Amino acid sequence: MAPHCYRHTDRETYVSCQRCGRPICPDCMRPAAVGFHCPEEGRGDSSSGGHNGGAGRPAQRDPRTVLGGRAGQARQALVTQSLIVACVVAYFLQGAPGLSSSDRYNEFTERFAMNGYQIAVDDQYYRLLTAAFLHASVLHILFNMYALFLLGFQLEALLGRVRYLALFVVGAVGGNTLSYLLGGRGTFSVGASTAIFAFFAAYYVIARRLRIDSTQILVVIGINLLITFTLSGIDKWGHLGGLAVGILVGLLYAYVPPRHARLQAGGVLGILAVLLLAALARSAALT
């Protein structure tokens, strides 16, 4: 059973206070030198943190986490909420498959889904990303939005908006690229799970770096991999591709200090460039 925040017992979380060990949600996270503290331990930090260098100098208003996220933005989760809204809007533009009697794959779905034939023949590489905003059924979007909400709030708080959004984009592209490389023209898939598997992997790497208990996320990854290889109709290569890219980006974020933001950005763009070059090479081989 997933842990719940000790103050907001209806919220699942995989982050714990680095001092007392109590599970905390994004609303309760207080940035510390390593990881986060709960509100009680955070108050202890502010009361014993030394002088501010001058009687009239204001305290730092928006401290950063050890991975570069801004504490003042941690509770907003603006990017996570925007991604969820985008997926829900796209789902209804698809004709709400599973909720209505419309064709499962309408014109909107056909236009933006991961379609290997259209990539190979018409160079529609945007599909490597746009497919992550589409879903095939009610359960599909509900499961993915729940995972996006749960992990997204915490990762956005840790990483900050830009790094977090980059992780989503590269995870989606990475998963769909591997699917295209191995599935070729016959590849057809939709879903945010490519990016979500990248979230799983990056969260694990970051948890290890911050010395946070990673047992829960390992269990989650194991269960999702079991589902991936047990149920039919799931893009296995998309999930594995997202997982692999999530590890790479997670290593960048966890072990390259956030003060070297350009180096982090260069690494992420390098991964994205390699993915696109691989897709181009696959298209050349197919045509």
Partners of 37 in beta bridges: 30
Calculate the alpha carbon distances from 6 to 19, 20, 45, 214 in Å: 14, 11, 20, 18
User: In angstroms, how far is CA 64 from the centroid of its own chain?
Assistant: 20
Of 37, 135, 140, 239, which residue is the catalytic one?
Answer: 239
For residue 175, count CB atoms less than 10 angstroms from its CB and return exposed for 0-12, middle for 13-18, buried for 19 or more: buried
Taking alpha carbons only, the member of 10, 15, 18, 35 closest to residue 26 is 15
Q: How far apart are CA 236 and CA 182, in angstroms?
A: 11
Cβ 47 vs Cβ 222: under 8 Å:
no
Tokens of 278: 């691989």
Q: How far apart are CA 16 and CA 37, in angstroms?
A: 8
Of 193, 214, 260, 283, which residue is the catalytic one?
Answer: 193
Cβ 168 vs Cβ 160: under 8 Å:
no
Q: How far apart are CA 217 and CA 17, in angstroms?
A: 16
Query: Has 283 been annotated as catalytic?
Result: no
Q: For 97-127, b where at least 16 C-beta lie within 10 A, e where not — what string?
A: bbeeeeeebeeebeebbbbbebbbeeeebeb
Query: Has 214 been annotated as catalytic?
Result: no
Active-site residue list: 193, 239
